Amino acid sequence: MLNLLQQYRRYLPLGLILCGLIFLFLMSSLGVQIPAYSVFIDQQEKFQTDDPEAVNLALQRIIAQERKRCQQDIDLVNQVEMEKVFANRENIVPAEEVEKELRKNLQFEAQATAIVVDGKVIASVKSRELAEKILSNLKREYSWLDEGEELLEITFAEKVELRDTKIPSQEIIEPPQAYQLIKIGTNNPEKYLVKEGDSLWLIARRNDMYVNDIVVANNLNSDKLHLGQELLLVKSKPYITVMTQVKGERVEAIPFQTKVVVDTAVGSTVRVKQEGKNGEKQVVYQATKLNGVLQQKDVKSEKILQAAVDKIIVKGNRVVQVASRSGSGNLEWPCYGPITQYYKGKGHTGLDIGARSGTSVRAAEAGYVTSACYQGGYGKFITINHNNGLVTRYAHCSSIAVSEGQSVSRGEVIGTVGSTGRSSGPHLHFEVLSGGSFQNPLNYLP
């Protein structure tokens, strides 16, 4: 027997190791708990680990990274503690996942400057200097002047203040992000990449927007696009409105009037007896602009430099107006001239009326002006709401004689014919919308 034990003695250590491994396997399989550490954050148990050093190292890394992101000292809001426990092996968080678990539950505070508009915090940045620069850039962007204008005052329409405070560090945003938020009212606008054949008008139509919304949101000063260009598709609702008071002096056109004389001697013919010619006047005014858009214009003085010459049309007493073919005929022609392109639905949403540049454009019906601005391919563009479901729009004007919010009467001069925007020559592009849908203008004209 002794000889047998001596013979197999060299295999005893290996056997003991195998027995130990089998024992540990059986113990873990039977759910026996092992020594571990519970991690408590603000006295609430969050997870368990068998490597307390991994917790300390992960905490140091998170603090360093957050301090680097904020570029200043930060305070850890939470209390982190560890306690020795026994835990089931399947509940143990591996060392490489400890940092992820900590990030889920930790909060930091940092010093910041909040931009407050009418008592509401809109955005917070790292320092007062950055906040002041954002507001300064905003004023600079909207303080451009037309030729002959002088800036009298620039202010914010809202009550804007800066407030130094400590906030959760994750609420601090970078200046470009804060600037975009203040300007368009959102930090997550829909984005669009320009494709072959795109135009501002087509993009606006596909996304149920106005061209001007895209122009304002993207600070466009031209309707030219390039492939791959990223556009923000959002109707801007700025948190801050820049209000400028300007004084201006410039020469403006005096649109000529058109007079019709009935002459029994010419029967059923119509002829132009005298061509019209615009006059000129020197105007001194003060105006209020909101974010660069004219809101109110007060004329202080006018001096006529050259009187306008009326256009005189002579028609016979047997000239009969042709009624519209299928519509109510309740609008007035905005100007007179040959139709150079007819309404084609989506292919062409309006009626092109050829006329000399400077010809008066008149409101087709009484209403109020909802837009009077430069709008991409439409050029100088006027929209009038007639309060009966009808809206008329006038594009490619050379000048605009009304402002947004102004009431106009039927036949009132609102601008002059031109070729601004995407235009092949002087003409008026006239659109009629009913219930928000484009209609054939001929169905509403006498």
**Model pLDDT for residues 203-217, shown as the tens digit of each residue:** 877 777 776 678 777
User: For tokens 């009212």, what's the residue?
Assistant: 185
Residues of the chain with pLDDT > 70, as a percent, come to 86
Predicted confidence at residue 2, as pLDDT, reads: 45
Domains of the chain: 33-106 (no CATH), 112-233 (3.10.350.10), 245-315 (2.20.230.10), 339-443 (2.70.70.10)
Q: Is the pTM of this model over 0.75?
A: no
In whole angstroms, give the CA distance from residue 153 to residue 143.
9
Q: Is 358 helix (H, G, I), strand (E, B) or coil?
A: coil
| Res 32: pLDDT | 63
Q: Which of 128-142, 281-295, 390-404 has the lowest mean pLDDT?
A: 281-295
Position with higher pLDDT, 396 vs 6: 396
| pLDDT per residue as tens digits for the range 94-112 | 989 999 999 989 999 999 9
CA 34 to chain centre: 58
pLDDT of residue 14: 64
Q: Convert the pLDDT of each residue in 315-331 to its tens digit.
A: 766 544 433 333 344 78
Which percentage of the chain shows pLDDT scores above 90? 39
Would you state the pLDDT for residue 135? 97
Determine the Cα–Cα distance for residues 406 and 392; give it in Å rounded to an integer.
15
Does residue 300 contact residue 284 with C-beta atoms inside 8 Å?
Answer: yes
The residues, any chain, with a CB within 8 Å of residue 240's CB and separated by 6 or more, are 117, 122, 135, 138, 156, 157, 158, 160, 182
Q: Take residue 432 and report the two structure tokens written for it.
A: 């009629």
Supply the pLDDT for residue 17.
Answer: 67
List pLDDT tens digits, range 146-174: 888 899 999 999 999 999 999 998 889 99
Mean local confidence (pLDDT), 369-392? 88
Helix or strand run (H / E) with residue 67: helix 52-70
Q: Which DSSP letter does residue 317 get?
A: T
CA distance 383 to 371: 5
- Rounded to whole angstroms, how far apart are CA atoms 17 and 37? 27
Question: Which of residues 25 and 238 earns the better pLDDT score?
Answer: 238
User: Over the chain, what is the mean pLDDT?
Assistant: 84
Helices (H) and strands (E) in the chain, counts: 8, 27
- Residues contacting 325, CB < 8 A, separation 6+: 442, 443
Span 341-358, mean pLDDT?
Answer: 86
| Residues 92 and 48 sit within 8 Å (Cβ to Cβ) | yes
Query: How does residue 368 score in pLDDT terms, banded at 50, 70 and 90?
Result: confident
CA distance 171 to 175: 13
How sure is the predictor about 383, in pLDDT bands with cuts at 50, 70 and 90? Answer: very high
Tens digit of pLDDT for each residue in 13-61?
666 666 666 655 555 554 567 899 999 999 999 999 999 999 999 999 9
Question: According to the model, what pLDDT value does residue 334 have?
Answer: 92
